[in-house]
A and B are shown apart, each in its own frame.
Chain A
Amino acid sequence: MALMRLEGVSFRYVGAKDFSLSDVGLTVVPGEFVLVVGPSGSGKTTLLRLMKPGLAPAGERRGRLLFRGKPVEEWPPRETAAAVGFVSGDPEAWIVADEVWSELGWTLEQIGAPAADIRLRVAETAQAFGLAPLLRRRTYELSDGEKQLVHLASVLVARPELLLLDEPVSRLDPVSAGRFWDVIARLRREYGIAVVCADHRAEPAFAMADRVVCLEEGRLLWEDSPRRAAYRLWRSDDVRFCEMVPEAARVCLEFAEAAGTPWRPEEADRLPLSVREAKAWLASMAKTDDAAEYDAAEDGDAENGAAKDEIAEDDVVEDGTGASFRRVGDDFGGVAAVCRDVWFAYTAADDPVLRGLDLTIRRGQWLALLGGNGSGKSTLLRLIAGFERPLRGDVRVFGRPPHRWKDAERPFLAGYLSAEPRDYFAGETVKDDLLAVARRAGCGVDEAMRLADIFGIRRLLDRHPHDLSAGERQQAAIALLLLFRPRLLLLDEPTFGLDAGARRVLIDVLRAACRLGVAVVTATHDLSFAASAADRCALLFDGDIAAEGETDLFFSDMFYYAPERARIIRNVARRSTFGSSGRGGVASVREEEMRRWWIASGENAQ
C-alpha cells in the first residue's frame, strides 16, 4: 500500500492569485527514495510542507493527500507528528531545545511517550548516529554540520516512516554534507525509511533515488528513473534544468558530445551517476580513438581560449580602469588587499580563528575561499571589509587598513555580503531599498532599474523583501552592493539558495566586474561553483591558507576536497574542462551588458 499518495493536489497561498501547485499526483511507497527537482520557486517546499500536516501552509488546497490510505487531516496530530519527519536545510531555526540531549527527546515529550521509552530511544538514536559525544553540548554551540545531524536525529528519534528533506545540505560544507548523505543512505539501506527529498542540486541524492520527479511552476512535468531523469534534464532546452544534471552524468554527456557521438536516448539507462561509474565509462572511452581526438581538440581550445583571455583582459582593464576607477585613485600595483601575519580571535578567551594568515588579493581576479564550516572564511571576509580588526598583523585594502574607513566610503571600496542577505533590506518593498541605496551610491533611478534588469529581478521589485525566496533575496542583495560599483567584492556564500539560472547570472555579473578590474572574493562551500567560476582558489584550514593556486591546478592537487568533476577527470584534467561557464572564452551577452552598465556610471561620475 502506498505510504503517501497525492491525488490531484493543487494549492494556492492566502491572497495569491495563482496556484503554487496545480494538479500534482504522486505516490510514495514504503522504503522508497523520491527526489523532487525543479528550479527555485517551482513549489518543491510547498509540496513537502503539504505532506506534513502540522506544517501545511495557510491557503486553499484542492485534491486529496492520503497517508497510509487515510486523508492526512484525519490522522490524529500526535501520530503524524511522529510518523512523518521533516528536516529543513536551516537547522538553526529548527532546533528548539538548548541542549542536544533535550532536543533529541523533545518530540517524544510532546506526544506524551512514557519517560522510559524516551530514554531508550534517545539513547539508541544517539548511539546509532554517533551523537553520544555531543549529548551534553549546548545546541547553539554546535557547528552547522553537527546541528544538521542533531536536527535529523531529533526527527529520527520518533521513528518516522516517511522522511521529508527540504534542501537538507544547503548550508553544509562538502564534508559535512557527505556525512549527512551517508546517514540518509544508511537509513534507507538498514531501516527502510521512505524519503522524499527536494533539492535543486543534489548529486548524492540523485545516485540514491529510486525515482526523480520534476516540478516546474507548480506542475509535475514528469517522473522517471534517476538515470533517465538526468538524461531528460540534459536534453531540455532550459539552462535551469541542464544545470541540475548531476556532475558525473554531465561530464560524460559533455564528453560524448565533444567526441561527436552524443548520448543516444535508448542508452539513457546506462548514464553514469557516480564518480566511479563515470570513471569507468571514461576509461572505456579512452580505449577508442575518439578520446584522443577529444583531448587534442580540447588542448587547442584551451590554448586559444587562454590567449583570447589575455588579450581581452588587457583591453578591458585599460578602458575599465580609465572609466570607472579614476575617481578612487591609484592602482596599487594591481593589488587590492594584502593580509600579512593576521591573527584574530573574537574574544581573548577564544581560540584564535586565524593564525598568522597571509593572503594577497589581486585586482581583476576572482578568488574563491574554501574551507569547512567554522574554518574562518567569514571572519576573514569581515576583516578585509574592515568590520573587525586583527589582533596582530596587518590588513591593508587599497593601501589602507579597512577598519579605519568611514562607513560612508566603505561600500564604494568594498562590497560585503554577509551570510544573511535578509539583513540588507529595510524597506517595505525591494524597490524602496534599491532606490534608497541608489541615492546613497549616487546612481540614477534608470541605472538602478537597468541593474535590476541585468539581474532579472525586476519582477520582484514590488514584493516585500521578507517574502522573497532565499535565492531571490541573495540576488537582490548583491544588486544593492553593486550599485556602489565597489572595487572589491566580498561575498559570503553567494550561491546559497540560487538555482542554476540565477547562478549563471551571478557568474556573468561577477565575471564582468572582474574584467573591469574589480577584485572578487567569494567564500563558498560550493566546490563546483568555485571550480567553474573562480580564477584562483584558497583553502582555509587551521586559521591559515593551507593551499592557494590557480583553480585548475588547485583542484588537480586536491583529492578528497574536490568537486566531482575534478575527481572524475583527475587524469584528463584540462583547463577548459572546468570552464563550462564563463571563465575564459568569449563574454556572454549579460556580461557585456553588465560591463556597459558599469562603465556608463563611470562616465556619469566624471
Chain B
Amino acid sequence: MNVFRYAHPAVAVVYYAIAVALPVVRSDVATSAVVLSGILLQMAVISKSVRAAAAWTATFLPFAALFVAAAMLFNRRGGHVMFQIGGWQPTYESALAGLAAALTIGAAFAAFETTGRVVPAETWLSVASGRAPNVALLLAMTVRFVPHFRRRLGEIALARRALGEAVAIAPNAFGGKTAAMRNTARLLGLLLPVALEETARTADAMTARGYGTGPRTRYRRFRFRRGDAFRTAVFAAAALPAFGVFTGENPVVSAAAAAVYALLPMVFASPGFSGRPRFLRGRLPRGSRDARRSGFLRAKSDAGRTWGKKQWR
C-alpha cells in the first residue's frame, strides 16, 4: 500500500523533505531515532513486506556502528568517560553524538529511498513534462529502452550461443578474457542495427499517431488540488512542535511530536481520508466538470469507496 497514493507527488516530496530536515535541525538521538523508525515503518507498509525495511536496517547497522566508533575515537567532548585505554578516553556524549549523526544521515537516506518508492521515476517525468515536454519524452523513452535493450542483448547472446559461438556474457562461456571482450564488442555491434531498427519502428509508431504535427497538449495526470494543499499544510503544521516551535527544547516532547509526524501519513493519507476535508467537499476542483460528466471521476473514486464512509452519503 502506498500511503501517498491518493495525493499529488509534491505532497510526498514536501513530507519527506521535512522528515529529512527534522533530525538535522534537532540533532538529538531520540528525534532522529523516532523519525528513522517511522520512515522504515512506512517503507514496510508501502512495499507490503518487512523485508525491504529489514534489509535496509541490516545495511544501516554496520554503518551506524562505524559512525559511533569514529565519534568515540575523534570526539573529545563530554564529561562522562566510558573507559580508558592508554590516552584514549571515549565519552558517552561523543558516542551519542555519533549515533545522532548516523541516525540523521540514515533518516535522510531512508527518506530518499521511500520517496523513490512512493514517487516512481515516471511520475517525476510526468510532472516535469509540463515544463519541458520533449526532454521528458526523451527521458521517458530512454528509461523504457534501457531495460529493453539489455534484454535484447541477452537474447542476441542466446542466439549466438545457439549457433555454437562462445559468448562472454553467458555464464558458462569458455575462452580467455580477450576472446570474451572481443565477443562482447561483437554482440554490441549486433545489437546496434537491431536497436536502430526497433527505434525506427517506434518512430513510425509515433509519426502514425501524430507526433510532430504541431503544438501538443499536455495531459496531466497529477493536479495539485485543494486537498493536496490542505494535506501539505497539515503536515507542515504537525512538524512545527517537533521542530520545537511551541514546545521549546524538551527532547521528550520533541520526540513525541516527531512520532506523531512519522505516523501521520498512515492515518492521514490512507484511502479512508483520501477525500477533501469536509469544508471543501461538494466543490469539485477546477477543470474536472467535463470529467465528472464522463463518469470518470465517479469510476475513479469507486476504487476507494469501500474504505471510506462516503459511499452512504
Question: Which residues of A approach B to under 8 Å, CB–CB?
Answer: 52, 54-55, 76-78, 81-82, 86, 88, 90, 93-99, 101-102, 105-120, 122-124, 127, 132, 138-140, 154-155, 158, 382, 385, 387, 403-404, 406-412, 415-418, 420, 422-424, 426, 437, 440-441, 466, 480-481, 484
Give a binary string over B23-54; 1 marks a CB under 8 Å from any A CB, 0 the rest: 00000000000000000000000000000000
Nearest CB of A to B111, in Å: 24
Q: Which 6 pairs between the two chains have the least Cβ-Cβ distance? A: A81-B210, A123-B296, A423-B159, A110-B210, A116-B290, A120-B294
Give Cα A124–Cα B298 distance, bound, in whole angstroms.
12
B161: contacting residue among A78, A124, A154, A410, CB under 8 A: A410
What are 30 of the A-B contact pairs (CB < 8 Å)? A54-B208, A55-B207, A81-B209, A81-B213, A86-B208, A93-B202, A94-B205, A95-B205, A102-B126, A102-B221, A107-B209, A107-B210, A119-B219, A119-B294, A119-B296, A120-B290, A120-B291, A124-B296, A127-B295, A158-B210, A382-B158, A387-B158, A404-B172, A407-B165, A410-B162, A418-B155, A418-B158, A481-B162, A481-B163, A484-B164
Q: Is B173 an interface residue (CB 8 A)?
A: yes
Main secondary structure of the interface of A (DSSP, over half): helix
Using CB atoms, name the residue of chain B closest to A110: B210
Residues of chain B with a CB closer than 8 A to A154's CB:
209
Give Cα A111–Cα B143 distance, bound, in whole angstroms.
24
A105: contacting residue among B160, B193, B219, CB under 8 A: B219
Known: A95-B205, A109-B218, A417-B162. 16 other contacts (CB 8 A): A78-B210, A81-B210, A93-B201, A96-B202, A98-B144, A107-B209, A108-B217, A112-B215, A114-B217, A122-B219, A127-B299, A138-B122, A406-B174, A407-B170, A410-B162, A437-B164
Give Cα A167–Cα B224 distance, bound, in whole angstroms.
43
Q: Is B249 an interface residue (CB 8 A)?
A: no
A115: contacting residue among B190, B210, B220, CB under 8 A: B220
Give Cα A568–Cα B2 distance, bound, in whole angstroms.
51
Give a binary string over B184-212; 1 marks a CB under 8 Å from any A CB, 0 the rest: 00100010011001100110111111111
Q: Is B176 an interface residue (CB 8 A)?
A: no
Residues of chain B with a CB closer than 8 A to A117's CB:
290
Is A140's CB under 8 angstroms from B172's CB?
Answer: no
Q: Is B313 an interface residue (CB 8 A)?
A: no
Is B163's CB under 8 angstroms from A118's CB?
Answer: no
Give Cα A478–Cα B197 distance, bound, in whole angstroms.
22
Is A99's CB under 8 angstroms from B122's CB?
Answer: yes
Is A123's CB under 8 angstroms from B215's CB?
Answer: no
Nearest CB of B to A388, in Å: 10
Q: Is B140 an interface residue (CB 8 A)?
A: yes
Q: Is B214 an interface residue (CB 8 A)?
A: yes
Is A418's CB under 8 angstroms from B219's CB?
Answer: no
Is A403's CB under 8 angstroms from B207's CB?
Answer: no
Using CB atoms, name the residue of chain B closest to A437: B163
Is B166's CB under 8 angstroms from A407's CB?
Answer: yes
Is A110's CB under 8 angstroms from B220's CB?
Answer: no
Nearest CB of A to B305, in Å: 15
Using CB atoms, name the residue of chain A closest to B200: A93
Nearest CB of A to B199, in Å: 9
Residues of chain A with a CB closer than 8 A to B162's CB:
385, 410-411, 415-418, 424, 481
Q: Is B281 an interface residue (CB 8 A)?
A: no
Is B209's CB under 8 angstroms from A52's CB?
Answer: no
Q: Is B156 an interface residue (CB 8 A)?
A: yes
Is A466's CB under 8 angstroms from B197's CB?
Answer: yes
Residues of chain A with a CB closer than 8 A to B215's CB:
112
Is B155's CB under 8 angstroms from A423's CB?
Answer: yes
Q: Is B278 an interface residue (CB 8 A)?
A: no
Residues of chain A with a CB closer than 8 A to B160's CB:
423, 426
Using CB atoms, name the residue of chain B closest to A426: B190
Residues of chain B with a CB closer than 8 A to A110's CB:
206, 209-213, 216
Give Cα A382–Cα B205 distance, bound, in whole angstroms.
31
Residues of chain B with a CB closer than 8 A to A422's CB:
194
A424: contacting residue among B163, B212, B291, CB under 8 A: B163
Q: Is B148 an interface residue (CB 8 A)?
A: yes
Q: Most A CB atoms within 10 A — which of B165, B210, B212, B293?
A: B210
Q: State whether A55 and B204 are in contact (beta carbons under 8 Å apart), knowing that A98-B122, A123-B296, A140-B144 are contacts in the complex.
A: yes
Residues of chain B with a CB closer than 8 A to A119's CB:
219, 290-291, 294, 296
Q: State whether A78 and B206 are in contact (beta carbons under 8 Å apart), knowing that A108-B219, A115-B219, A387-B161 are contacts in the complex.
A: no
Give Cα A127–Cα B295 distance, bound, in whole angstroms.
10
Give Cα A102–Cα B201 distance, bound, in whole angstroms.
19
Give Cα A382–Cα B155 distance, bound, in whole angstroms.
11
Chain B residues 125 to 158 lying within 8 A of chain A, measured CB to CB, are 126, 140-141, 143-144, 147-148, 152, 155-156, 158
Nearest CB of A to B105, in Å: 28
B214: contacting residue among A78, A123, A387, A406, CB under 8 A: A78
Is A97's CB under 8 angstroms from B140's CB?
Answer: yes
Is B219's CB under 8 angstroms from A102's CB?
Answer: yes
Give Cα A88–Cα B293 distance, bound, in whole angstroms.
33
Q: Is B64 an interface residue (CB 8 A)?
A: no
Is A123's CB under 8 angstroms from B147's CB?
Answer: no
Using CB atoms, name the residue of chain B closest to A385: B162
Give Cα A65–Cα B216 distance, bound, in whole angstroms.
28
Nearest CB of B to A410, in Å: 6
Give Cα A484–Cα B164 distance, bound, in whole angstroms.
9
Is B296's CB under 8 angstroms from A111's CB?
Answer: no
Residues of chain B with a CB closer than 8 A to A55's CB:
204, 207-208
Q: Is B282 an interface residue (CB 8 A)?
A: no
Give a binary string over B233-263; 1 marks a CB under 8 Å from any A CB, 0 the rest: 0000000000000000000000000000000
Give Cα A306–Cα B143 distance, bound, in whole angstroms.
57
Give Cα A481–Cα B206 distance, bound, in whole angstroms.
36
Give Cα A111–Cα B184 distance, bound, in whole angstroms.
42
Is A420's CB under 8 angstroms from B299's CB?
Answer: no
Residues of chain A with a CB closer than 8 A to B293's CB:
120
Chain B residues 44 to 78 lying within 8 A of chain A, measured CB to CB, are none
Residues of chain A with a CB closer than 8 A to B159's CB:
418, 420, 423-424
Give Cα A115–Cα B140 distance, bound, in whole angstroms.
20
Residues of chain B with a CB closer than 8 A to A114's CB:
217
Residues of chain A with a CB closer than 8 A to B210's CB:
54, 77-78, 81-82, 107, 110-111, 158
Give Cα A46–Cα B122 distance, bound, in whole angstroms.
36
Is B174's CB under 8 angstroms from A77's CB?
Answer: no
Q: State whether A111 and B213 are in contact (beta carbons under 8 Å apart), knowing that A93-B202, A420-B155 are contacts in the complex.
A: yes
Residues of chain B with a CB closer than 8 A to A112's CB:
214-217
Nearest CB of A to B249, in Å: 45
Nearest CB of A to B74, in Å: 41
Residues of chain B with a CB closer than 8 A to A410's CB:
161-162, 164
Residues of chain B with a CB closer than 8 A to A382's CB:
158
Q: Most A CB atoms within 10 A — which of B208, B218, B296?
A: B208
Residues of chain B with a CB closer than 8 A to A77's CB:
210, 213
Residues of chain A with a CB closer than 8 A to B174's CB:
406-408
Give Cα A111–Cα B212 distance, bound, in whole angstroms.
8
Chain B residues 285 to 312 lying within 8 A of chain A, measured CB to CB, are 287, 290-291, 293-296, 299
Is A118's CB under 8 angstroms from B190's CB?
Answer: no
Give Cα A481–Cα B161 distance, bound, in whole angstroms.
11
Q: Is B102 an interface residue (CB 8 A)?
A: no
Give Cα A417–Cα B295 distance, bound, in whole angstroms.
48
Residues of chain B with a CB closer than 8 A to A108's CB:
217, 219
B172: contacting residue among A97, A407, A415, CB under 8 A: A407
Give Cα A397–Cα B230 distance, bound, in whole angstroms.
65
Residues of chain A with a CB closer than 8 A to B158's CB:
382, 387, 416, 418, 423
Using CB atoms, name the residue of chain B closest to A127: B299
